[in-house]
Chains A and B, each alone.
Chain A
Amino acid sequence: MGVEKNLANLGIVTTCLDKVLNWARKNSLWPMTFGLACCALEMMVTVSARHDIARFGAEVYRGSPRQADLLIVPGTLTKKMLPMVLRLYEQMPEPKWVIAYGNCACTGGVFRTYNVIQGIDQYIPVDVYMAGCPPKPESLLTAIMMLRDKIDKESLKNRG
Chain B
Amino acid sequence: MSGRRIATVLGVAQVPMRTRLSQYTYADLLGVVAARALEDAKVDAADVDGLILAMAPTTTLGIDEPHFWATADLPGMKGFLGRVHTLASSGLVAFRLACAHVAAKRAKRVLVVAADLADESPDLIAAIGMFANPFAERHYPQSAAAAHAFEMTAYMARNALTERDMAHVIVKNRANGIANEYAQLRAPVTVDEVVDSPVLSWPIKRADASPRTSGAAAVLVGPADEKGVAATGFGNYANHPVSGARMVPGLDESYFDASDLRQAAARAYAMAGIERPHDEIDLAEVYASFGIIELLSIEGLGLTNGGVAARMIRDGEFHRDARLPVNASGGATCGTPISATGLIRVIEATLQLRGTAGARQIKHEPRRAAVSAIGGLFQLQEVGVLEA
Are A and B physically bound partners?
Answer: no
